[in-house]
Amino acid sequence: MRLAGRLKKTFGSATTRRSLVSLTTFVVLWELSARLKIPVLGAVPSPAETAACLVQEIFRAEYWRSWGGSLARILIGFAAAQLLGVPLGLFLGWSRRAREVIFPLVEIMRPVPPLAWVPVSVIFWPSAELSMIFVTFLGAFFTVILNIVEGIAAVDERYLRAAASLGAGKSGLFWHVLLPASLPSVLTGMTVGMGITWCVVVAAEMIATDTGLGFLTWRGYVAGEFPLIVVGMLSIGLAGWLSSGLIRRVGLHFAPWLKN
């Protein structure tokens, strides 16, 4: 009875119901287009085939090694980008002089797509692994810096004035106002950066290595195992979704006032 209540609460909510409807419709249409051999779309493996392949893959160590490989690259690259990018972004947002010196450099580097860095980083870094991590790092690094700098520039003067009146010194203004006020933009930067990171890592894995979800997908293509391609794609989608969700969770933990 209690369980039924819980289930009803989860699945009874309008939002959940709508998501379920949309997902179900998608799968049904997908299956139909495969069955009816609709041109172009019909060539995609059907949900049934994909599910069969997925079940097979789940019991293979290699599938999980692909997850592990991509996750490790993302984790290291993304974490390094935050570790360097957040303080640098805060510093640039804080100091006008630093902004004037360093920002033009950022502006020039930023539009270069991270993937265009692949050849250079393969040459520079001793291993393919390091070069991929580096490219992943770049994907998130500039995004987080730009978001923080813009976030700090947009902090409402009211809060700075109030803090100054209440007795905050220069460091107080930074720690008590600029930092918390720019947290939403830090989180946006991280979420966008995480998206970019997945794009980059998947593409890099197709080019430069033999592990990871990107490689898994690529292998499906090379070997002509089409259901595996779809399994790879779905896995990447799931991984991206999970990591964005995690950022949101962690973010709300540190910035509880942003709830609702």
Partner 1 sequence: MDALEPVRAADVADGPPEEAIGRLTAEAVGKTYVEQDRSREVLKDLHLTLEAGRVTVVMGPSGCGKSCLINLLAGYEPPTAGRVVLDGRPTAGPGPDRLAVFQETALFPWLTAFENVAYGPKIRKELKGAQLESAVMELLRLVGLEDFRDKYPAQLSGGMQRRAELVRALANRPKVMLLDEPFRGLDAMTRGLMRDVCLTIFRRHRGSSLFVTSELDEGLALADQLAIFTNRPAKVKKLLDVPFERPRTDQLRSSPAYLALKAEALELLHEEAVKSFKTGAIESADFVEAYGALA
CA atoms of 14 and 22, how far apart (whole Å)? 12
CA atoms of 162 and 254, how far apart (whole Å)? 23
Interface pattern 124-163 for partner 1 (x via CB under 8 A) = ----------------------------------xx-xxx
Beta strands in 91-247 (DSSP E): none
Residue closer to partner 1 by CB (options 140, 177) is 177
Please report whether residue 200 would count as binding partner 1 according to CB under 8 A.
no
Q: Which two tokens stand for residue 39?
A: 């041109």
CA atoms of 188 and 146, how far apart (whole Å)? 11
- CA 155 to mean position of chain CA atoms: 26
In angstroms, what is the minimal distance from the CB of 159 to partner 1? 6
Please report whether residue 260 would count as binding partner 1 according to CB under 8 A.
yes
Please report whether residue 247 would count as binding partner 1 according to CB under 8 A.
no
Instruction: Say which DSSP state 113 is in.
Output: -
Please report whether residue 59 would count as binding partner 1 according to CB under 8 A.
no
Q: Which two tokens stand for residue 138?
A: 């770049």
Please report whether residue 174 would count as binding partner 1 according to CB under 8 A.
no
- Cα dihedral: 236, 192, 72, 60 (round 10): -10
* Long-range contacts (CB closer than 8 Å, 24 or more residues apart) made by 104-108: 106/142, 106/145, 106/146
Interface pattern 76-95 for partner 1 (x via CB under 8 A) = --------------------
Q: Which two tokens stand for residue 212?
A: 């990871």
In angstroms, what is the minimal distance from the CB of 177 to partner 1? 7
Please report whether residue 61 would count as binding partner 1 according to CB under 8 A.
no
Determine the size of the site formed for partner 1 (CB under 8 A): 20
Selected from 4, 59, 165, 170, the binder of partner 1 by CB under 8 A is: 165
Selected from 76, 183, 192, 247, the binder of partner 1 by CB under 8 A is: 183
Residues that bind partner 1 (CB under 8 A): 158-159, 161-168, 172, 176-177, 180-181, 183, 255-257, 260
